[in-house]
């Protein structure tokens, strides 16, 4: 018979919906269940995966009310997330893992407000699209807003994955990923919404295969049927102009956001272009922090993509250059335009199949704070034998042939010298020097022509009259001989 402390613990677990009555009855009938000592009983439950340490501590400390939020059983604290704290939770009826975010009121300061934010989240976050990470639920408990986000298993954001893999992405693969995100943006824009923070960290790719090499190092890569999805749609708060508060500036930020708080569809197109630049080169268009980065975004041009990736088709480079134009009017005007333009650079194969469904029993511990699978080295990363993917090249890193990858990485390896952008004064001075140089050149050419045609000789002869000369005269009949005297 359980002791009073153990029985009280089980009652609190049921009241918090951490354990169901049938689970409690099953536990009581176990012959090896500790009956008296509460510490031993909690360790018993943790060892068997019935409760997490987080849940056990909350129940022992009579904080069971923290283990259910918005009707979702909370499994563990995942850590900080955009706007507050993330928790690993379970769907109330399906018991599948989800990510629950509890947002701090400061998340909406200084120009957004919870009511407008919640409306945008429900309008656009729940948009049904194969290239969007869906928002499952959004609501309030007390004065606090919470979000429930799908927790895709065996996935990672592209910023993290690019660092793990290293090197550049093949051009056709970047085009395919970009086409998928452009399709998602098109759906949002056509419904009157925008994203406002398109960047590699908000692009989720999955499923992933995990392999362990001979040295025991675990690595992840996209499977051949991996699908890229856009996260945080509808969840980006309104912010004041970045130039006024140059803190944590994103290198993927469109120039117009430096002076305006408005999220605009053509700004999403710029950010997608900057994201593709990162995928193709392994670095964002601009680097730096605070005011330095703001100045570069406003005035500088990124290192030419044609120098970093000479293997890319010129039309592909031209498209990305257009997407990265400082003026929004010079960019592609719609996400549909970008989607169609990227088609010609993708592999001409059948469309990939839908991503595999995650197992219903996927462990909640496999979910990171951002809602994606944790990094390598965590217990959930089980090595995948090569024979599970017989078509994959063992040397492949991005889920494509190693020859294609080698071409991409070789093109990105060369680091050209840095090109400095001239200031307005330097440009004006250069134009004046060009004009002066052109005038001097034309003068020299004219002088040469005049010299060759003898104009200078004629001018000299007309100024100095020729001296008169007298010729000796001969008298007639003298034969030119002197006369003899008589």
Mean pLDDT, residues 333-354: 81
Cα gap 395→73, rounded to integer Å:
43
Last residue of a domain, one of 371, 398, 424: 424
Distance of CA 330 to the CA centre of its chain: 21
Is residue 449 situated within a structural domain? no
Q: Is the pLDDT of residue 203 over 90?
A: yes
In a domain, 468, yes or no: no
Position 367 confidence tier, pLDDT thresholds 50, 70, 90: low
Rounded Cα–Cα distance for residues 243 and 270 (Å): 18
Q: What is the pLDDT of residue 371?
A: 55
Strands 72-81 vs 84-90: parallel, antiparallel or unpaired: antiparallel
Residues 210 and 127 in one domain: no
What is the rounded average pLDDT of the residues 86-106? 91
Cβ proximity of 256 and 264 under 8 Å: yes
| pLDDT, tens only, 246-272 | 778 899 999 999 999 889 999 999 999
As for how many domains the chain has, the answer is: 2
Do 139 and 193 share a structural domain? no
Distance CA 449, CA 58 (A): 97
- How many angstroms separate the Cα of 153 from the Cα of each of 67, 70, 165, 196, 472? 23, 23, 19, 25, 123
Higher-confidence residue of 414 and 217: namely 217
pLDDT > 60? residue 356? no
Pair 96, 112: CB distance under 8 Å: no
Can you tell me which residue has the tokens 């045609």? 453
Tell me, what's the pLDDT at 407?
57
Q: Are residues 324 and 393 in the same domain?
A: yes
User: Are 307 and 370 contained in the same domain?
Assistant: yes
Whether 191 maps to a domain, the answer reads: yes
411: domain CATH number?
Answer: 1.10.510.10
Query: C-alpha 207: how far from its chain's center?
Result: 19
d(CA 144, CA 103): 6
| Span of 64-68, 94-98, 420-424 with lowest mean pLDDT | 420-424
Which range marks the domain in which residue 117 is found?
Answer: 4-147
% the chain with pLDDT above 70: 78
Whether residue 206 is contained in a domain is answered as yes
For residue 197, the model assigns a pLDDT of 94
Judgement on whether residues 316 and 167 belong to the same structural domain of the protein: yes
pLDDT in tens, 434-460: 888 888 888 888 887 777 777 767 665
Task: Assign 398 a pLDDT band (cuts: 50, 70, 90).
Answer: confident
Q: How confident is the model at residue 234 (pLDDT cuts 50, 70, 90)?
A: very high
Alpha-carbon distance of 274 to 149, in angstroms, equals: 26
Q: Is the pLDDT of residue 376 over 70?
A: no
Report the distance separating Cα 53 and Cα 56, nearest Å: 5
Choose between 303 and 445: higher pLDDT.
303
Asked whether the predicted pLDDT for residue 5 surpasses 90, the reply is no
Q: What is the C-alpha separation between 230 and 149, in angstroms, rounded?
A: 13
| Residues 205 and 326 grouped into a single domain | yes
pLDDT band at 467 (very low <50, low <70, confident <90, very high): low
In a domain, 297, yes or no: yes
Name the band, by pLDDT with cuts 50, 70 and 90, for residue 31.
confident
Query: Is residue 24 domain-shared with residue 113, that is, in the same domain?
Result: yes
Q: With pLDDT > 90 as the criterion, what percentage of the chain qualifies?
A: 42
Does pLDDT of 53 surpass 50?
Answer: yes
Q: What is the mean pLDDT of the chain?
A: 81
Instruction: Give the pLDDT of residue 257.
Output: 92
Contact predicate 137/128, CB 8 Å: no
pLDDT attached to residue 354: 46
Q: Are residues 277 and 374 in the same domain?
A: yes
Distance CA 136, CA 151 (A): 10
Question: Looking at the structure, do residues 96 and 170 belong to the same domain, yes or no?
Answer: no
* Residue 121: other Cβ atoms inside 10 A: 22
Residues 57 and 84 in one domain: yes
Do 229 and 283 belong together in one domain?
A: yes
Whether 432 has a pLDDT exceeding 80, the answer reads yes
- The answer as to whether 464 is a domain residue is no
């Amino acid at each position: 018979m359980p002791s009073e402390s153990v029985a009280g613990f089980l009652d609190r677990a049921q009241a918090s919906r951490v354990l169901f009555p049938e689970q409690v009855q099953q536990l009581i009938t176990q012959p090896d269940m500790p009956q008296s000592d509460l510490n031993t009983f909690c360790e018993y439950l943790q060892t068997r995966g019935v409760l997490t340490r987080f849940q056990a501590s909350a129940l022992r400390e009579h904080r069971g009310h923290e283990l259910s939020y918005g009707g979702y059983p909370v499994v563990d604290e995942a850590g900080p997330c955009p706007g507050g704290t993330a928790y690993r939770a379970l769907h109330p009826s399906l018991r599948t893992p989800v990510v629950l975010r509890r947002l701090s009121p400061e998340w909406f300061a200084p120009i957004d407000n919870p009511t407008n934010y919640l409306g945008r989240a429900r309008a656009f976050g729940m948009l049904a699209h194969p290239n969007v990470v869906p928002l499952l639920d959004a609501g309030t408990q007390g004065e606090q807003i919470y979000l429930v986000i799908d927790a895709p298993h065996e996935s990672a954001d592209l910023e993290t994955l690019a660092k793990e893999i290293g090197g550049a992405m093949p051009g056709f693969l970047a085009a395919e990923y970009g086409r998928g995100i452009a399709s998602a943006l098109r759906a949002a824009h056509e419904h009157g919404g925008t994203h406002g923070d398109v960047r590699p960290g908000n692009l989720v790719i999955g499923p992933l295969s995990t392999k362990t090499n001979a040295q025991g190092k675990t690595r992840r890569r996209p499977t051949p049927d991996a699908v890229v999805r856009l996260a945080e749609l509808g969840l980006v708060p309104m912010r004041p102009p970045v130039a006024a508060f140059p803190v944590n500036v994103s290198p993927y930020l469109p120039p117009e956001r430096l002076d305006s708080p408005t999220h605009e569809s053509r700004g999403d197109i710029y950010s997608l272009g900057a994201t593709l630049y990162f995928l193709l080169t392994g670095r964002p268009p601009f680097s730096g922090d605070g005011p330095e980065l703001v100045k570069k975004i406003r005035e500088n041009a990124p290192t030419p993509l044609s120098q970093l990736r000479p293997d890319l088709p010129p039309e592909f480079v031209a498209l990305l250059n257009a997407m990265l134009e400082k003026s929004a009017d010079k960019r592609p005007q719609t996400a549909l335009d970008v989607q169609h333009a990227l088609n010609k650079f993708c592999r001409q194969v059948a469309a990939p199949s839908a991503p595999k469904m995650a197992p219903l029993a996927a462990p909640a511990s496999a979910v990171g704070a951002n809602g994606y699978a944790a990094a390598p080295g965590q217990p959930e990363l089980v090595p995948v034998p090569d024979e599970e993917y017989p078509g994959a090249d063992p040397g492949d890193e991005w889920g494509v042939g190693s020859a294609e990858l080698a071409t991409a990485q070789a093109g990105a390896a060369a680091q050209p010298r840095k090109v400095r952008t001239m200031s307005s004064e330097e440009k004006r001075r250069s134009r004046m020097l060009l004009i002066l140089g052109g005038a001097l050149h034309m003068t020299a050419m004219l002088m040469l022509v005049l010299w060759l045609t003898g104009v200078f000789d004629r001018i000299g002869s007309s100024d100095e009259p020729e001296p008169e000369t007298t010729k000796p005269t001969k008298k007639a009949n003298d034969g030119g001989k002197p006369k003899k005297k008589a």
